Amino acid sequence: MSSAADRRPATPMARQILEHHSLLSRARALPGEARFVLAVLTLGALVAGAGIGFLVVTGQLDGRWYDLRDLGNATAHFRGWTQRQGIHSAVPYLVTGLLGGIAILSLVGGWLVIGVWAERRLIAKFQIRQGPNRVGPFGLLQPLADAVKLLQKEVLIPIGADKLLFFLPPILIFIPAMLGWGPVPWAPKMSYADLNVGVVYTIAISSLGVLAVFLAGWSSNNHYALLGAMRTVAMMVSYEIPISISLLAIVLFTGSLQLSDIVAWQAQHNVWMIVLLPFGAFTFLFASTAEINRTPNDIGEAESEIVAGFHTEYSGMKAGLFLAVELGNALLVGAMMSTFFFGGYSLFGLERWIPGYLIMGAKTFLVYFGFVWLRATLPRFRLDQLMAFAWKFLIPLSIIQLLFVAVESMVVVQSGLPGIVTIGGSIIANAALTFVGVRAWANAIGYSPKEMASPPIMTNGVGGLRAAEQIRAAS
């Protein structure tokens, strides 16, 4: 009777992790000289941190070009310098535009690598597996190895495919995925293109990708691809509407279509939109999973039904581009979600200490983690169920919420009452709408999941049709 005791770890999991994975234990294992160097470095980092903290507190850093909490400062200083030198104003515009574009491309590229690794690793942990752990430390270089593998592979073009239209979609789908990052505010002054119609731009760009998807599905000359494309188009068309309505509610509160204004409003009122508009946040999250083809709404490329959907026929790096764009879109939705609903770069005053783009990145990856979690947990909807959910549930309730918000926003602006009263009242009203309204609406359209889940009847009997009828009658 030894095996039961042998297999269980002798110490609790938390202690094991502390003992085997903590930095302290790693440092203790180092040789003496290395430990000395490490101690000096740590001390230096602490002193430097204290010095920076002092500068930040006394406000000596504010607005300088080397104020790295907001990279927009450097740009502004550069523009001022060129003006003083008498250089044409187009030059700083072009230079910063080019630099910013490269910066966004490399940032998203780097995030993609981290995103691929994080998704595979996290899903493996959810599924009691190890996940990638061979290439590099913790398997961190696995995405690069995957990319190299995909680049080496031959790109096949099916005989029946429309050559040009088959060639275009992987490129076409990449453009809106990158353009979407333009208006994201990373810090108060740090935004690639702080458009005054940022919300409209976001909605417009997000619906461009569907063109490439449909081209890919149609030109492949494959039934699975066509089915996937049709499903994706139907989904996108349906879910644009709830997304737009939920964003409209935000715009009513903030009174601006500019993303930086929306973040500033949340920072100023010290409230995140997810608290103020829980139903709007849910709508946005759910609708975005449909837009970017992720579980539970990945019906556009439902593996168990239509193999890989619209990119069934793509191979090599072309398929890789589709997958990368999909992941990039998930990160983009994460960034949008944090901008619209999680206060963007603001963190209740802490953004004075921590660079805004770090806060923004952390929030983005938090939402991304939510997507991974969903993917590891939920089964998939059917197309008609998804459509019904949008048209019968999300859209009517979003419109009702919009009516609520229209009144509330007028009260917030015009009543002259303190913010804690008006915004607090709005929070309570919207929470009530979310929890009561959703229930009532579900009852009204006749949805009752509790009755659907019924356990089987346990019996000791044996028999055929008559026994079956008796058992059913008795239960």
Partner 1 sequence: MTTVNEPYVLNIGPQHPSTHGVFRLRVVMDGEVIRDLDMIVGYLHRSMEKLAEERTYTQNIPFTDRADYLAAMSNNLGVCLAVERLAGVEVPERASYLRVIFAELQRIASHAMANGTLVSDAGAWQTPLLYMFREREKILDLFEMTCGARLTTNYMRIGGVAFDPPPEFWPALQELLDEMPARIDEYASLVVDSEIFLARTRNVGVISAADAINGSLVGPALRGSGVPWDLRKAEPYCVYDRMNFEVPVGRHGDVYDRFMVRLEETRQSVEIIKQAVAQIPDGPHKTDIPLALRPPPGEVYGRVEGPRGELGFYVVSDGTPAPYRFHIRAPSLINLSLLREMAVGVSLPDAVVALGSLDIVVGDIDR
Report the interface residues with partner 1, using CB under 8 A: 1-4, 7, 123, 126-129, 223-224, 227, 231, 295-296, 298-299, 302-307, 375-385, 449, 452-465, 467-469, 471-472, 475
Q: Toward partner 1, which CB reaches closer, 26 or 382?
A: 382
Residue 29: what residue type? Answer: A
Least Å distance between CB 372 and partner 1? 10
458 token code pair: 């346990």
Task: Name residue 75's amino acid.
Answer: T
Nearer to partner 1, 31 or 456 (CB): 456
Measured from the CB of residue 291, what is the shortest distance to partner 1 in angstroms? 17
**Where would I find the H helices in 67-168?**
72-85, 90-126, 142-152, 163-167
Residues 115-144 as b or e (16 or more Cβ within 10 Å = b): bbbbbbbbebeeeeeebbeeeeeebbbbbe
Instruction: Rank residues 410 and 467 by Cβ distance to partner 1 and give the closer one.
Output: 467
Would you say 283 or 339 has its CB closer to partner 1? Answer: 283
Min dist CB 388 to partner 1, Å, is 10
Q: What is the nearest approach in angstroms of partner 1 to the Cβ of residue 24?
A: 33
Look up tokens 């008559």; give the residue: 466
Choose among 238, 262, 242: nearest CA to 252. 262
What does the CA dihedral 328, 330, 333, 337 come to, rounded to 10 degrees? -130
Nearer to partner 1, 319 or 412 (CB): 319
State phi, psi for 191 to the nearest 5 degrees: -155, 140
The Cα angle at residue 190 between residues 200 and 346, in degrees rounded to 5? 85
Which CB atom, from 12 or from 456, has the smaller least distance to partner 1? 456
Closest approach of Cβ 297 to partner 1, in Å? 10
Q: How far is the CB of 472 from partner 1 (least distance, A)?
A: 6
Is residue 190 within 8 A of residue 71, CB to CB? The reply is yes
